[in-house]
C-alpha cells in the first residue's frame, strides 16, 4: 500500500474503524528462565500514535525488540499488513515496513547524513554507489518532514543530538515504513527540540504511518498519543483511548502501588546539620550561576531533563570540569576543586551515571573494584578496608560468589552496590549520585534508598540526580531543578510532578519559587 493510499485511509475513517496495520497478540518472552513478557498484545492502525508506557523493567523495550526482530518471541503472533511475520533481524523488519528508532543512536559519526540513511542499502547505478541519488532522496525525505537545516552531505558528527535523532527517523522513513516504533525519542532532546519531534510525529501520522511511541515523559504521551497501552511487570494492564485517562490514573496503573511504600522514610535520629557543600554563583562552560546549599544529613534531589546540565553540575563539583566562576565551599572552607583526585581527598564521592563505562572495571573482581578508590587515593588504609570488605558487601546485600567474582557477571543492582561499596570505603562527607538506580531492579533500588537514608543519619550530605520523578519526590528533602545549564528553581520536599516538570521545561510561572531574576536580566543584556 502506498503512502498516499494510507493517508486517504487515515483521513477517511475514524481511528477505531480503520483496518489494523499491525496486530501483536499474546507475545511471551523469557530470558534465562525469567519471564519478562506475559502474553502482551496490541493493535496499531494507520495514522495512530500509540503510547506504550510502564516503569523501567515493565517490558516495553523487550516488546519493541520482539516486534523489531532483535529478540525472538517464545510464543504469540505478529501480523503486519494481514500477514503473519516472524523477523529475525531489524533489517528484515524494516524491509517489511516496520522500522524502529532505537533508544541508542545507530549512526556513524564520521559518515554523512545520506550515507547513514542508506547504510547497508546504498542505491547503485552501473554497479557503483549512486551518491547523487542517495543525497537527493535524503533531501526529499527531510523535506517531507519539513526539515530544511540538515544537509545530506554533512557529517553526522557535526549535528546536534536533535538533528541526529531526526536522521534516525529519516533512516526509518527511507524504507517506506508503515509502522515506526520509537523508543524514548526525546530522551536526549532539549524542550524546544521536543516540539520539533512532535511536529514530525504528527506529520507521519497524517501520512498514515502508525507509530508506537515509548516514553517516560507522561506529558508527551498525552500530547501526542491517540491510544495508550500500559505495561506492568511484563503484563498488559490496559489499552484504551488517551482521552479516557488522566496523569494520576495513568501513574496509578503504571506503578500499581502508592509511592510511599517504595521509598523508606528518614531514619530516626537523622538531623539536618551544618552546610557541607555550598555553591555561590558557580559556573563553567556547561553550567552557570548555580547557588546551592547542601547540609549534613540532607538529600537534595536534582531534577531536570537530560542535557539540562545536571551531570555537568556534579562533574564540576567533583573537579572533572572545574568551576571557572563563583564560589564553592566544602565544610565551610573555600575550595577550588581542580581534579577528581582532589575531590576524593576532600571527602567527595561521585556515583556516575554510567556504571559500566565510568563506575566499574568490568573484567576485574568485586574486591578489586571495591578497593579501587582506597588503593589509589588512601593507599595506607587498604589493608584495613580489605578486612572490612566482606562485612560491607554483606551489609549492602551484594549477592555474588565472593569477592573474587568478576563484576561483569553480576546483575545491574549488584554492580551498583559494588560501586557504592567502593565509595563508602573512602568515608565521604558529600556523596554525589547520578541516576543511582538506573537500570536496576526494584529490590536493589530499595536497598540503595535504605543506604541513602542510613548515610543521611550518619551526617553525609547527598546530591542525587534522577530522571525518575517519583524517586526525586520520594527521597529528597529539597529539589533543585536544572534547566538549560542553570538551577532554575528550588522546590520544597514532596513537590508534585507537574511543578517539577514545568520548572524543568522552563515554563514555570509560579510565585513561590526562587527563580533568580538577576541572572535573567544579565542574559538579556548580553
Ranges within 504-523 binding another protein (CB under 8 A)? 505-507, 520, 523
The 261-290 site mask, x for binding another protein (CB under 8 A), equals ----------------------xxxxxx--
Binding of residue 444 to another protein (CB under 8 A):
no
CB 434, min distance to another protein, A: 9
Which DSSP letter does residue 267 get? P
Pick from 12, 75, 124, 244: which binds another protein (CB under 8 A)?
Answer: 124
CB 308, min distance to another protein, A: 7
CB 395, min distance to another protein, A: 26
The residues in 453-492 that bind another protein, with binding defined as CB under 8 A, are 484-485
Pick from 86, 121, 345, 514: which binds another protein (CB under 8 A)?
Answer: 121
75-80 and 83-84 beta bridge pairing: antiparallel
Q: Is 433 helix (H, G, I), strand (E, B) or coil?
A: strand
Binding of residue 411 to another protein (CB under 8 A):
no
Pick from 43, 229, 270, 308: which binds another protein (CB under 8 A)?
Answer: 308
CB 440, min distance to another protein, A: 10
Pick from 16, 75, 199, 243: which binds another protein (CB under 8 A)?
Answer: 199
Nearer to another protein, 11 or 358 (CB): 358
Nearer to another protein, 61 or 369 (CB): 61
- List, in order, residues 6 or more apart from 422 with CB less than 8 Å away: 359, 369, 370, 371, 372, 373
- The CA distance from 246 to 237, in Å, is 15
User: How many CB atoms neighbour CB 402 within 10 A?
Assistant: 10
Nearer to another protein, 109 or 240 (CB): 109
User: How many CB atoms neighbour CB 287 within 10 A?
Assistant: 28
List the beta bridge partners of residue 23.
43, 79
| Segment interacting with another protein (CB under 8 A) among 38-46, 125-133, 238-246, 422-430 | 125-133
- The CA distance from 368 to 360, in Å, is 10
- The CA distance from 77 to 87, in Å, is 11
CB 318 within 8 A of CB 352: no
The residues in 7-36 that bind another protein, with binding defined as CB under 8 A, are none
Pick from 6, 43, 115, 476: which binds another protein (CB under 8 A)?
Answer: 115
| Segment interacting with another protein (CB under 8 A) among 15-23, 106-114, 266-274, 341-349 | 106-114
The residues in 311-330 that bind another protein, with binding defined as CB under 8 A, are 311-312, 324
Q: What are phi and psi of 300, to 5 degrees?
A: -110, 125
The residues in 132-151 that bind another protein, with binding defined as CB under 8 A, are 146-151
Nearer to another protein, 232 or 310 (CB): 310
The residues in 212-271 that bind another protein, with binding defined as CB under 8 A, are none
The 155-174 site mask, x for binding another protein (CB under 8 A), equals x--x-xxxxx----------
Pick from 12, 82, 109, 492: which binds another protein (CB under 8 A)?
Answer: 109
Q: Is 277 helix (H, G, I), strand (E, B) or coil?
A: strand
With helix as H, strand as E and coil as C, how does 360-393 read? CCCCCEHHHHHCHHHHHHCHHHHHHHHHHHHHHH
Nearer to another protein, 121 or 341 (CB): 121
CB 495, min distance to another protein, A: 20
| Segment interacting with another protein (CB under 8 A) among 1-9, 307-315, 330-338, 377-385 | 307-315
Nearer to another protein, 171 or 453 (CB): 171
Name the residue with cell 514545568: 502
By CB under 8 A, the count of residues binding another protein is 82
By CB atoms closer than 10 A (0-12, 13-18, 19+), residue 262 is: middle
CA distances from 233 to 2, 19, 53, 216, 448 (A): 38, 30, 12, 15, 20
Nearer to another protein, 126 or 257 (CB): 126
Pick from 35, 56, 77, 133: which binds another protein (CB under 8 A)?
Answer: 56
CB 252, min distance to another protein, A: 24
Binding of residue 357 to another protein (CB under 8 A):
yes
- The CA distance from 295 to 157, in Å, is 42
Pick from 72, 74, 274, 354: which binds another protein (CB under 8 A)?
Answer: 354
Name the residue with cell 550561576: 289
Walk across the sheet containing 179-183 and list its strands. Answer: 98-101, 179-183, 210-214, 49-53, 227-232, 235-241
CB 104 within 8 A of CB 187: no
Number of helices (H) and strands (E) in the chain: give both, helices first. 19, 22
CB 174, min distance to another protein, A: 11
E-strand ranges in 102-216 read 124-125, 128-129, 179-183, 210-214
CB 286, min distance to another protein, A: 5
Nearer to another protein, 131 or 478 (CB): 131
CB 428 within 8 A of CB 378: no
Handedness of CA 498, 354, 330, 477 (dihedral sign): positive
Nearer to another protein, 48 or 183 (CB): 183
Amino acid at each position: 500500500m502506498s503512502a498516499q493510499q494510507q493517508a486517504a485511509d487515515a483521513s477517511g475513517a475514524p481511528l477505531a474503524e480503520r483496518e489494523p496495520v499491525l496486530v501483536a497478540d499474546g507475545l511471551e518472552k523469557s530470558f534465562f528462565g525469567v519471564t519478562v513478557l506475559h502474553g502482551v498484545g496490541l493493535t496499531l492502525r494507520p495514522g495512530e500514535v500509540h503510547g506504550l508506557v510502564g516503569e523501567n523493567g515493565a517490558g516495553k523495550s523487550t516488546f519493541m525488540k520482539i516486534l523489531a526482530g532483535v529478540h525472538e518471541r517464545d510464543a504469540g503472533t505478529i501480523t503486519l499488513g494481514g500477514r503473519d511475520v516472524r523477523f529475525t533481524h531489524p533489517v528484515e523488519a524494516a524491509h517489511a515496513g516496520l522500522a524502529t528508532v532505537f533508544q541508542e543512536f545507530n549512526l556513524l559519526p564520521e559518515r554523512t547524513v545520506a550515507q547513514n540513511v542508506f547504510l547497508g542499502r546504498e542505491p547503485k547505478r552501473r554497479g557503483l554507489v549512486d551518491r547523487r541519488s542517495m543525497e537527493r532522496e535524503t533531501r526529499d525525505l527531510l523535506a517531507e518532514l519539513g526539515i530544511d537545516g540538515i544537509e545530506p552531505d554533512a557529517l553526522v558528527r557535526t549535528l546536534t543530538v536533535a538533528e541526529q535523532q531526526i536522521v534516525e527517523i529519516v533512516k526509518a522513513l527511507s524504507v517506506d515504513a508503515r509502522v515506526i516504533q520509537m523508543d524514548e525519542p526525546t530522551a536526549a532532546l532539549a524542550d524546544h527540540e521536543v516540539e520539533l519531534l512532535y511536529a514530525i510525529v504528527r506529520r507521519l501520522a497524517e501520512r498514515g504511518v502508525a507509530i508506537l511511541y515509548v516514553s517516560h515523559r507522561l506529558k508527551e504521551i498525552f500530547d501526542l498519543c491517540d491510544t495508550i497501552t500500559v505495561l506492568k511487570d511484563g503484563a498488559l494492564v490496559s489499552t484504551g483511548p488517551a482521552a479516557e485517562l488522566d496523569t494520576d490514573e495513568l501513574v496509578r496503573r503504571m506503578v500499581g502501588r502508592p509511592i510511599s511504600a517504595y521509598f523508606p522514610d528518614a531514619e530516626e535520629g537523622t538531623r539536618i546539620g551544618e552546610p557541607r557543600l555550598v555553591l555561590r554563583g558557580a559556573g563553567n562552560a556547561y553550567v552557570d550561576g548555580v547557588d546551592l546549599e547542601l547540609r549534613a544529613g540532607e538529600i537534595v534531589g536534582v531534577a531536570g531533563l537530560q542535557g539540562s546540565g545536571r551531570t555537568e553540575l556534579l562533574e564540576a563539583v567533583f573537579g572533572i570540569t572545574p568551576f571557572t566562576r563563583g564560589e564553592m565551599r566544602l565544610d565551610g572552607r573555600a575550595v577550588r576543586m581542580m581534579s577528581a583526585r582532589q575531590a576524593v581527598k576532600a571527602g567527595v564521592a561521585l556515583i556516575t551515571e554510567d556504571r559500566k563505562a565510568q563506575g566499574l572495571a568490568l573484567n576485574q573482581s568485586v574486591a578489586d573494584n571495591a578497593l579501587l578508590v582506597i588503593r589509589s587515593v588512601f593507599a595506607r588504609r587498604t589493608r584495613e578496608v580489605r578486612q572490612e570488605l566482606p562485612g560491607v558487601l554483606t551489609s549492602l546485600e551484594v549477592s555474588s560468589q565472593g569477592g573474587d567474582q568478576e563484576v561483569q557477571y553480576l546483575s545491574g543492582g549488584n554492580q551498583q552496590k559494588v560501586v557504592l561499596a567502593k565509595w563508602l570505603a573512602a568515608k565521604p562527607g558529600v556523596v554525589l549520585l547520578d541516576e543511582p538506580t538506573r537500570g536496576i531492579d526494584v529490590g536493589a533500588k530499595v536497598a540503595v534508598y535504605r543506604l541513602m537514608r542510613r548515610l543521611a543519619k550518619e551526617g553525609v550530605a547527598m546530591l542525587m540526580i534522577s530522571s525518575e520523578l517519583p524517586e526525586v519526590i520520594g527521597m529528597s528533602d529539597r529539589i533543585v531543578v536544572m534547566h538549560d545549564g542553570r538551577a532554575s528553581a528550588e522546590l520544597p520536599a514532596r513537590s508534585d510532578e507537574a511543578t517539577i516538570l514545568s520548572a524543568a521545561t522552563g515554563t514555570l510561572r509560579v510565585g513561590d519559587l526562587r527563580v533568580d531574576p538577576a541572572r535573567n536580566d544579565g542574559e538579556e543584556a548580553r
